[in-house]
Amino acid sequence: MGKSNTLTITAEQPTKIETHLYLGEWSGKTRGPAPLSITLTATLMYPNDISPIPGKLIKFYDSGGNVVGTATTDSNGQAKLPLTLSLPGTYTFYAVFEGDDTFQGC
């Protein structure tokens, strides 16, 4: 018999693509008597060429870490969440993209 050949293949975990998420756009009044109706907007982008990333779920949280809603990014990378602030007070929100098989969370 001839010499046996060995082939070794290593499959590595693919590198996930870095993302950036921007929250800072809103529409609606930011002052006035309750209830106030607003829309929060978060934009998910590739960091290097600033292209939008569509079709990704964004979670919106209040300052206590409670999920106040979710929205999916559109063709412009924007996820929009309408909210009604029923009680008087000052509100703080943040948005999170948890990542997926292709993209890193942020």
Of 17-26, 38-47, 80-89, 92-101, which range is least confident? 17-26
Percent with pLDDT over 70 in the chain: 84
Encode pLDDT of 28-77 as tens digits.
Answer: 666 777 788 889 999 999 988 789 999 999 999 998 999 999 999 999 99
DSSP 3-38: PPP-----PPPPPPBP-EEEEEEEES-SSSSSPEEE
Domain ranges of the chain: 20-96
The reported pLDDT for the residue numbered 32 is 73
Match 């939008």 to its residue by tokens. Answer: 52
Among the CATH numbers 2.60.40.10, 3.30.1330.90, 3.30.413.10, 1.10.540.10, which is that of 20-96? Answer: 2.60.40.10
CA distance 63 to 85: 14
Q: Which helix (H) or strand (E) holds 78?
A: strand 78-85
